[in-house]
Structure 1
Amino acid sequence: MRVKTYRDTVLACCFAYVIQAMVINYVPLLFVRFQEEFQINILALTGLVTVNFLVQLLADALSIPIIRLLGYRWTALLAHLLAVLGFIAMAFLPQAMSQPYIALMIATVLYSAGGGLIEVVTNPIVEAVPNDNSERMMSILHSFYSWGFVGVTILAALYFYVIGIENWRWLTLLWCILPLYNFIQFLFVPLPTVIEEVEEPLRFYQLLTKKTFWTYALMMFSAGASEMALSQWLSLFMEETVGLTKAVGDLAGPLSFAVMMGLARTYFGFGSHRLSIRTFIKICLVALTLAIVLMSWSPSPWLSLFASALYGGAVGILWPGTYSLATQGMSHNGPMMFGLLALVGDLGCTIGPFLIGRVASYFANDFRIGILTSLLFPLIFAVMLGAARVTKNS
């Protein structure tokens, strides 16, 4: 067997982000099907989204003691195993239980726990791998989430078109292949030392007293809320609000969103030396605001599709960009900081789609009004970006 190198380690972390994209974005493609097959309403679907991110939030909160107990390798293995179990449960439990919605909840808890651990474990590993440009590496890592989103959307749309969405359970089982493969990779790849920091890590309460940390935390909250507020509802929005067919809605809506998000992260990853991250983020915030307004008010389906693509490109850099800014601005940027930022980010991922779903439900399932409320999140991000200073622990 070929000796594994740090290149294999980074690739395994990148594939882990593809798995996280599956965990977060596959089930929303089935929302309309779940409504028909299980008689689930918008509020119940909102519950699935909320539980997904609440469990990821809990995984983030427990990640530090779990990592210190099991180590990074075994935590990564546990994350992949939970993802596999979650998709198996999604395929079999709804037809085996008298209440399919409870079965969907159980499956959601399993795979979302895996997704939450994946992020907390991969970010510090990639940061600790020797490289010349941590901003570039982090952006490339996060771009794999976007390209995973693209792959999941394309493969699911083709499967539903050729084989039929009524056979979604078999596709759900096929998704288990990637986490099983990556599970094997994490058994053998070398891992850098990520617990022992160059500087003594801050204790939990010390980190929470840093004003700079809370600035980045609110930025991460807004980034997560902005990204998931639309992506979790985009397939349903394109079908029921814009009026597109399932195939066209998935390929043109979520796919354009994911492609543009991936391109933004990849461009910044390979071209970060040409444009500062703060300048890049400012441009993205303006574009994001424009996209939200267009999606909320446009009467044209094609303009809505353009807006969804613009939204994806604009929101793509906010999450990895916040990690990079926090790494610059906090001298003690070890596993605890990454874990807490991921926790706050997942809180945003929970609040964003929950807010849109609740507002849309209140206004007779009008997702245009729901999407308009997401203007709050780029506004918060802009205020925090203005308050942030790239000074150590200010």
Structure 2
Amino acid sequence: MTKQKNYNKTLIACYLGFVTQAISANFTPLLFLTFKNTYGIGLEKIALIPLVFYLTQLLIDLAATRFVDKIGYRTCVVSSQILSAVGLVLMAILPEVLPVPFMGILIAVVLYAMGSGLIEVLVSPIVEACPFENKDGMMSLLHSFYCWGAVGVILGSTIFFTVFGLTNWKILTLIWALVPLYNAFNFISCPIERLVEDGESMNTSQLLRLPLFWLLILLMICSGASEASMAQWASAFTESAMGVSKTVGDLAGPCLFAVFMGISRILYGKMSEKLDLTKAMLACGILCVICYLTASLSSIPIIGLTGCALCGASVGIMWPGTISISSQKCPRGGTAMFAFLALAGDLGATVSPTIVGNVSNMFGGNLKIGLCIATAFPLMLILGLIILNQKFNRLSK
């Protein structure tokens, strides 16, 4: 008798994969001032850390279109966890042993960013390939674990630093590294299926000639941009709008944003069988526009903060929803499609906060004007969804 495969183990491994990505993306920014004070690193150099992180992710997303199918999902996803763990461990070690501490930090960032990029490319198709019912809901629930991971990292780190002090940050870094290290063993033993059988998936050139593919890329860029424009500036917006400390700003801004984003993904995961995904995303796009306008135009701080928090709910299903729509509309897209979608989402998430910051600087550091300009991203998402619904309402064969 053939032993039944335990796909729930695969699901748990993928959940922890997104928690690992949340650790990689959200922990090091909490240490920026610590790096400045401990190693004498200037803020202009510290600003390179997130840039290096996201550029490395983008390069891995692009490269993954070439090597993932050749090497295999399991090898790549286990490597993603090992790279993430090694990067975090080296974050605690290299700045102390290298003559230039900043170079040690960058080496560590590149390593865990490579792991993070692989996670982003691989985890969604691994879940999509599992024989689960209600794939839309599963995808939304899966991506909610990035939100809960982000909340856990911010809250857990804040509590740790309050109790044990910032001087013990290396110990906490090693503790966070245990998550991907443990999860590597999960991915070694869990069942992993192929998304598309050999010879049936579209190659890169076929995808690039498909008009539908470029529309899906646009949706993904707008999804990443709509999420990151508010998420990356939530702390600064809360501090400036409400006049609170950085600690309170971190908790009230990014944490509230992530909580509402996670809640929306869980709710859609539970209700997805009763909802039309495209219509749900359209509603979320409209809500996102309202939230950006509320945050940027309101003169009452608490209303502005409410707009910031509810923006998390509005962007919650955009990223996983676009992935689900892509799987439905382009079922032969394969790994290359998922890699390009990850690349597009990361591109939107990398460029949009920079646009917000630059526009704000043009108007004397007025962050509200920058966020008002960011309303263009959910508006473009709405337009893309309308075109998708009218022009590509049938599944691509």
TM-score (norm 1): 0.91
Q: Secondary structure at the match of 2:374?
A: helix
Alignment-mate amino acid for residue 283 of structure 1: A
Contact 1:221/1:344 (CA < 8 Å) preserved in 2? yes
| Maintained 8 Å contact 2:196/2:332 | no
CA shift, 1:363, in A, is: 4.6
Question: C-alpha distance in 1, partners of 2:167/2:235?
Answer: 17
Aligned to 2:393: 390
Distance change (3 Å), C-alpha of 1:354 and 1:46: farther
1:329 aligns with 2:332: no
Output the amino acid matched with 2:6.
T
In the alignment, which residue of structure 2 is the partner of 1:84?
Answer: 85
Opposite residue 227 of structure 1, the aligned amino acid is: E
In structure 1, how many angstroms separate the alpha carbons of the residues matched to 2:103 and 2:374?
A: 29
Name the CA distance, whole Å, in 1 between partners of 2:382 and 2:300. 29
CA–CA distance in structure 2, aligned partners of residues 161 and 365 of structure 1: 31
Cα deviation digits, residues 159-198 of structure 1 (max 9, x gap):
222223343332222110100110111111121233516x
Contact 2:61–2:343 (CA<8 Å) still a contact in 1?
Answer: yes
Distance across 2 between alignment mates of 1:188 and 1:339: 24
Larger CA deviation: 15-24 vs 166-175: 166-175
After superposing the two structures, state which structure 1 stretch, 233-242 or 342-351, moved more. Answer: 233-242
Offset at residue 4 of structure 1 (A): 6.7
Alpha-carbon distance, 1:248 to partner: 2.0
Q: Per-residue CA shift, 1:264-310, capped at 9, x if unaligned? A: 11111110122211221122112212222232234444333312211
Shift in Å, 1:69 = 3.4
Distance 1:365 1:44, change over 3 A: farther
Residues 200-237 of structure 1: CA distance to partner in whole angstroms, max 9, x if unpaired? 21121111111111111000011111212222332344
With normalisation by structure 2, the TM-score equals: 0.90
Consecutive unaligned residues of structure 2, counting only runs of 5 or more, are none
Q: Which moved more, 1:260-269 or 1:297-306?
A: 297-306
Whole-angstrom distance in 2 between the partners of 1:367 and 1:35: 25
Displacement of 1:17: 0.8
Distance 2:69 2:332 in 1: 18
AA at the equivalent of 1:85 = V
Does residue 1:27 correspond to 2:21, yes or no? no
Question: Cα offset for 1:117?
Answer: 0.2
Q: For residues 25 and 359 of structure 1, what CA distance do their matches in structure 2 show?
A: 24
Q: Compare 317-326 and 224-233 and name the one that shifted more.
A: 224-233
Question: Is 1:178 the counterpart of 2:155 in the alignment?
Answer: no
User: What residue identity is the alignment partner of 1:392?
Assistant: L
Highest RCO, 1 vs 2 (Cα 8 Å, sep ≥ 6): 1
In the other structure, the counterpart of 1:7 is 8
Query: 1:314, CA displacement in angstroms?
Result: 0.6
Which residue identity is paired with 1:334?
G
Q: Which residue of 2 aligns with 1:152?
A: 153
Deviates more, 1:224-233 or 1:136-145: 224-233
For structure 1, the residue ranges without an aligned partner over 5 or more in a row are none
Instruction: Describe the shift of the 1:80–1:288 C-alpha distance in structure 2 as closer, same or farther (beyond 3 A).
Output: same
Deviation, 1:155, is: 0.7
Contact 1:17 1:142 in 2 (8 A): yes
| Letter paired with 2:16 | F
Given residue 202 of structure 2, which amino acid in structure 1 is its aligned partner? L
For residue 12 of structure 1, report the CA deviation from its aligned partner.
0.4
CA deviation profile, 1:226-260 (whole Å, cap 9, x unmatched): 21222233234434564322332222211111110
How far apart are residue 120 of structure 1 and its match? Answer: 1.2
Instruction: Tell me if the contact between 1:4 and 1:188 (Cα under 8 Å) persists in the aligned partners.
Output: no
Q: What secondary structure sits across from 2:84 in the alignment? A: helix
Displacement of 1:319? 0.2
CA–CA distance in 2 between the matches of 1:112 and 1:360? 28
Match of 1:16 in 2: 17
Segment drifting more, 30-39 vs 77-86: 30-39
With over 3 angstroms needed to count, the CA separation of the structure-2 counterparts of 1:26 and 1:294, relative to structure 1, is farther
Q: Distance between the aligned counterparts of 2:299 and 2:90, measured in 1?
A: 40
Write the letter of the residue equivalent to 2:144. S
Q: Which amino acid aligns with 1:188?
A: S
Q: Is 116-125 or 352-361 further displaced after alignment?
A: 352-361
Matched AA of 1:87: L
Give the number of equivalent residue pairs: 391
Cα 1:51/1:343, change in 2 over 3 Å: same
Aligned twin of 1:135: 136
**One-letter code aligned to 1:308:** C
Aligned-partner residue type, residue 232 of structure 1: Q
